Structure 1
């Protein structure tokens, strides 16, 4: 508990201390940090939980990451790519439901920077009071600049792991830890609100590699951070690996909130997949963002990053009323706003 108390007081630890905190996690330390994280989040954001309309625009990907169900070599994946009009249709439905941020997520290389810029420009012209977040992987600095100039506000790019050796165990030759990090710094310099993130319990992950992730978040100070438990997918090389822990994910949400009190921190669908009421527990532990699915119903199951993904139930945008009731029942409220990061 000494390290947990120090983190709550100082908002930072050494890398070795982070590893020690993780290895010695107990129910007592988890509850303590969750309470501290919830308190500090309420000081900045009150009871507000921001909703983002997630649009999974394509499951075509040029990469072959060992953990991902839409990896290039998965011949069992039924591919799709939404048109500009389909994406605008998702935004129209979302706007009517109260969403003021749209998150366009997809496999890498599905669209050129020019195509994305065209779509972003159309969304911003139609819905000027909305924010557009992109989560489309690695591009060149020039391509990121094109999308930013078209009106993109935020960019989510999970760094996956801040441990170079661990990165090599998760990705094939040709993918580069250094390029991933280059992208994050380019995005920041271009004026995006930037999000990073990692999987909890991914194969070969250690307390030391998680500590590197926490130290990176402390030093990079992202506007957003998306973490969720690793969940195996049957058509990947990691199909028989154990899933990550929901409890550890919630613990790390609290740690990240204490490292950066004003961060935008999602309670993810993956967390809701591995734990009953996982997202609600994540909110209690310091998260303040939920991303219901706006993707066309016909395509949701095809975006199979991992097995058993919840894709037609209460995670969907159409069930926003149920989501509001859930949040109200645990003492929070869904708000319809852009939900930009606030000053601490």
Structure 2
């Protein structure tokens, strides 16, 4: 059987929902370039069937760039003394959340580095005030906390939690995130799921030391956890980290991982990440045509946004109105429409 015939058979198997083995996932990750559009088309068909043509928006507020971790890939790492650090006030956060509401974006993502300055009580008060004043659905992305903290956040009104693990390879995780434990991260994710949070996870593609086998394990973990959102983006080297100067311009591998994630998880919400748009001018659109159904515009005020530099070269600049207008034009260019609903995962 020729390679193209074997890939076609695999994709037919995937489209009807049959399970793919680790070896089959690796085959899709390394398939010849002339077959890759078939992979993207299969993922797009599944996306259309399972979650429809509407694109859900989540408005991000990056309220603190302080971080107590020292991850080798991240510009927010605590050892980066060149970064201008900031913390938004509660009033600034609420005012920005009001801008998100005015833009008719129904979901807010409160994101920061792992910053213990924000105590559990303070985060709970912020959730309650934001929910009471805006009515927005609230997603937290603030790193690892205790199970007791997660329960309090849920009671305060948070609906969703995003906690990317970046890799499920114990060796690579230990290398990338000094002092951190993969088992603890995964336990946090399992706790969030059990409590009833819509739980988001994700990985980075193109990391130093990463292999196709590791990526296949990442994808199998996404399916096994039954995550509600998958954040899949490319590694982009930051100049003030140990990975400075390492090139990664392979957007296609990221798109392959995203497409396979859609095939494996069917109705999960998958964003077209800002990092893809940073690597390629059409990166967001390409992701939306390979299985993605969510976009997360950044509403962080400009004077803070420029300092939330996980990676360099971010493209999401301009006023909220400009960002939304540009996104709507992108959606129209591929015959997709913007949704005004919160975009819960089907069945949630």
2:348 is aligned with 1:341:
no
> 2:3: which partner in 1?
none
For 1:147 and 1:270, the matched residues in 2 are separated by 28
Deviations 1:266-292, CA, capped at 9 Å, x for gaps: 000000000121001100111000011
For 2:174 and 2:340, the matched residues in 1 are separated by 40
- Give the SS at the match of 1:302: coil
Contact preservation (8 Å) 1:292, 1:317: no
> 1:127: which partner in 2?
134
Q: Check 1:139–1:154 CA distance in 2 against 1; reply closer, same or farther (3 A cut).
A: same
Counterpart of 1:162 (choices 158, 165, 168) is: 168
- Give the SS at the match of 1:256: helix
Shift in Å at residue 311 of structure 1?
Answer: 3.7
Contact preservation (8 Å) 1:11, 1:258: no
- Give the SS at the match of 2:111: strand
Pairing 1:110-121 to 2, within 5 Å after superposition: 110=116, 111-121=118-128
Q: Check 1:11–1:112 CA distance in 2 against 1; reply closer, same or farther (3 A cut).
A: farther
Deviations 1:229-251, CA, capped at 9 Å, x for gaps: 00000000011222252111111
2:297 is aligned with 1:295:
no
- TM-score w.r.t. the length of structure 1 is 0.95
Contact preservation (8 Å) 1:11, 1:260: no
Contact preservation (8 Å) 2:67, 2:76: yes
Say which is worse superposed, 294-303 or 322-331, in terms of deviation.
322-331
> 1:84: which partner in 2?
90
> 2:69: which partner in 1?
63
Contact preservation (8 Å) 1:68, 1:305: yes
Shift in Å at residue 11 of structure 1?
Answer: 4.6
Shift in Å at residue 60 of structure 1?
Answer: 0.1
Shift in Å at residue 9 of structure 1?
Answer: 3.2
> 1:14: which partner in 2?
21
> 1:36: which partner in 2?
42
> 1:199: which partner in 2?
204
Structure 2: where are the runs of 5+ without partners?
A: 1-6
Structure 1: where are the runs of 5+ without partners?
A: none
Shift in Å at residue 325 of structure 1?
Answer: 1.7
> 1:330: which partner in 2?
334
For 1:255 and 1:224, the matched residues in 2 are separated by 14
Q: Check 1:240–1:199 CA distance in 2 against 1; reply closer, same or farther (3 A cut).
A: same
- Give the SS at the match of 1:165: helix
- Give the SS at the match of 1:54: strand
How many residues were matched structurally?
Answer: 340
